[in-house]
Amino acid sequence: QVQLVESGGGLVQPGGSLRLSCAVSGSIFSTYANYWYRQAPGKMREFIAGITRGGTTNYADSVRGRFTISRDNAKNIVYLQMNSLKPEDTAVYYCKLTMATLSAWGQGTQVTVSS
């Protein structure tokens, strides 16, 4: 079984930065892609960033140029570097792993951007 654990969330002022981590463990055979999603209160969960097994990245328009997704293959950790944070970035951030036979989600980490 696969487990994903997010960390690094917290309270930050507008314009600040945070780096989220997603530690992946368990029976990992073939990872197709890793993703970050977020969900604000009363809103739908939305795609933020993705990275394929080959390293190709994709971003939502709302975060492109401010957020960077990366992966440490040796440690099996996926990162989301968030710069120039805005109050509208406030949400619970979730890590997702897609493999050939299944998808797995983490429990999420809270990010609050406020002065």
Query: What is the arithmetic mean of pLDDT over 62-80?
Result: 95
Pairing label, strands 10-12, 18-26: unpaired
**Looking at residue 87, what DSSP letter applies?**
G
The pLDDT confidence band at residue 12, using thresholds 50, 70 and 90, is very high
Q: In the prediction, which pLDDT does 19 show?
A: 98
The pLDDT confidence band at residue 28, using thresholds 50, 70 and 90, is confident
Sequence-ordered list of residues with C-beta below 8 angstroms from that of 106, at least 6 positions apart, any chain = 4, 5, 6, 22, 94, 95, 96
What's the burial of 111, exposed, middle or buried (CB within 10 Å: 0-12/13-18/19+)? Answer: buried
Check whether 26 has a pLDDT greater than 90. no
Which sign, positive or negative, has the C-alpha torsion 103, 49, 4, 26? Answer: positive
12 vs 30 pLDDT, higher one: 12
The pLDDT confidence band at residue 32, using thresholds 50, 70 and 90, is confident
